[in-house]
Amino acid sequence: MNFILEKQALPDLLQTWRANFDVYLPQNLERFTHFMPLAAEGVTVINEPHNTRIPPKALFLPMTETLVKFTRFGGYENAKHEIEPRIVFALRPCDAQAVQLLDTSFLQVKYSDPFWLERREKTITVALGCHEPCDNGFCTTVGYGPFNKADLDAMLTDLGDFYLVETFSEAAETCFNGFANASETICVQALEVQQRAHDQMPVAFETENLKEKLEQNFSSNYWDKVSLSCLGCGVCTFLCPTCFCFDIVDETQRRERVRNWDSCMFRTYSLEASGHNPRPSRVERTRQRLSHKYVYWLDQVNQIGCTGCGRCVRYCPVGLDIRSMLRQAQSLPFEVSHAS
């Protein structure tokens, strides 16, 4: 179903939703935007073609989350989280795509993560397409796009005074109940905007044979070169919408076992009790980060595990750029032998 949503009507709509849902949308926090629950007054819809600083994965996989509680006599209890039905509004298609990618890890057939599952089931995602290209993004390069519709309940296209709302699920349809249906011409107009946005995104690097090149050059000195100035902090992974690694830690004083975000760029990430570390330096860790996104995800679910949001590019403290790393990878030697 396609609806028309006047921009003036948006604040009221968001407030109406609040009756039944927790409404999360990007709001100004200090000097950047952050997904926060909407309060009774004051609506800020961030209309710049800009991602929030922290990706919305944090709404499904919080930075710190209790998994298990310890009972008094050395026993264990499931942790319970009160999760209300929610609408996540104005998340960008790249981030929505990332959530879908994370589903493949958290919702495996045999081992489905209960906390992730509950949050996913209770969430309606309403994305806002990017009609203007953002600064460091490269979503079309990795096969997604500014109006990528994977795993969304609804998608908004900015058409000046109003949005075209495309809904893809019944839950989303009920959210937009009562709005005027969009005419054919408006849909065509929206398609043009979407196509133009898609075409405006620059191609940052070639993805053809990239997987094979990275795979076959596992022990190349290419990795030394690209990781040389890496500091080994967790900015790129913590701000990445598809990075999901976590650490499980016992908080003794709180008598809880919690999971915290963790990063493959940390030394302690793979350090074993014996003192052996399979990834002892930043070279191996950088290789793991890039290979995971551009090789292993492809092996696992046949999708690139990077949605091109550009956060790691923008916030790397030393200006390391995944786009230029992969462009350099394109000149690596490789054999086509088993690329069938």
Partner 1 sequence: MAEKPGIALFQCQWCLFSPADQDWVDNHLPSNIYLTKTPCTGRINPLYVLNAIQGGADGVMISGCLPEQCHFVTGNITARRQLEEFNDFLNHIGYEKQRVRFVWLDLQDRCMIQKELAAFEKELKCLGKAANLVTRMKVAEGEQNA
Partner 2 sequence: MRANGRSLYTPTPMHVLRAYYESTDRSLKTLELSFDYTEDSQAFFAAFNPGQFCLLSIAGKGESALGVASAAWEGDFVRFTAQNVGSVTSALHKLTAGDAVGMRGPLGNGFPMDGWQGKNLVIIGGGCAFSTLYALTKHVHHENHRDDYGKLTLIYGTRTSGLCMYKHDFAAWHETDDMEIHQAIDVPEENWLHHVGYVPDVIRQVAPSPDNAVAVVCGPPIMTKFTLPALTDLGFTPENIFTSLEKRMKCGLGKCGRCNLGPTYICKDGPVYSLAQLNALPADL
Partner 3 sequence: MPDIEVIKAEAKRLLSEGMVEVVLAFKAGETPLHPQPAFFRTPDDVDELVYSSLNQNNLATYLTRLPKESKVGMVVRGCENRSVNALVVEKQKSRDNLYLIGVPCEGILDWRKIVAKVGEAVKSVNESEQEVMVESRSGYYLVERKELLHDSCMRCSHPNPVSADILIGEPLAESDSNLAREAVEEFEALSVKERYAWFRKEAERCIRCYACREACPMCYCTECFVDHIEPRWTESGATPAGMQAWHIVRAFHQTGRCTSCGACERACPMDIKMTYLTEKLNHDMKEKYNFETGLDAQTKPPFATVTLDDKNRFMV
Q: How many Å apart are CA 96 and CA 271, to the nearest integer?
A: 33
**Pattern 15-54, binding to partner 1, x per CB under 8 A?**
----------------------------------------
| 82 makes contact with partner 1 (CB under 8 A) | no
State yes or no: residue 280 binds partner 3 (CB under 8 A): no
Task: Please say which residue, 181 or 252, places its beta carbon nearer to partner 2.
Answer: 252
d(C-alpha 211, C-alpha 216), whole Å: 8
Q: In which region does residue 209 sit, left (phi positive, over 0), alpha (psi from -120 to 50) or beta (all else)?
A: left
Residue with tokens 């058409």, as numbered in its chain: 159
Q: How far is the CB of 250 from partner 1 (least distance, A)?
A: 9
Tokens coding 26:
């990007």
Residue 264 binding partner per list partner 2, partner 1, partner 3, none, with a CB distance cut-off of 5 to 8 Å that depends on partner kind: partner 2
Taking CB under 8 A as the rule, does residue 272 contact partner 2? yes
In order of 11, 19, 180, the CA distances from 7 in angstroms are 8, 20, 13
255 belongs to the binding site for partner 1 (CB under 8 A): yes
Q: What number of chain residues touch partner 1 (CB under 8 A)?
A: 7
CA dist 203 and 142 (Å) reads 9
Binding-site member from 8, 41, 42, 73 for partner 2 (CB under 8 A): 73
User: Long-range contacts for 262-270 (Cβ within 8 Å, ≥24 apart)?
Assistant: 263/234, 263/237, 263/238, 264/237, 264/288, 264/289, 264/292, 265/230, 265/232, 265/233, 265/234, 265/236, 265/237, 265/289, 266/232, 266/234, 267/232, 269/245
Q: For residues 322 and 145, what is the distance between their CA atoms, to the nearest angstrom?
A: 18
CA distances from 212 to 125, 173, 215, 301, 335 (A): 35, 43, 5, 16, 8
Q: Is 232 in the site for partner 3 (CB under 8 A)?
A: yes
Q: Is 279 in the site for partner 2 (CB under 8 A)?
A: yes
Candidate ranges 124-132, 144-152, 295-303, 318-326; the one touching partner 2 (CB under 8 A): 295-303
Q: Which stretch binds partner 1 (CB under 8 A): 217-225, 229-237, 248-256, 288-296?
A: 248-256
Shortest distance (Å) from residue 214 CB to partner 3: 19
Q: Which of 9, 10, 22, 50 binds partner 3 (CB under 8 A)?
A: 50
Of residues 282, 292, 293, 311, which one binds partner 2 by CB under 8 A? 292
Q: Out of 219, 221, 253, 268, which residue is the one contacting partner 1 (CB under 8 A)? A: 253
User: Under the rule (CB under 8 A), what is the footprint of partner 1?
Assistant: 70, 72, 74, 252-255
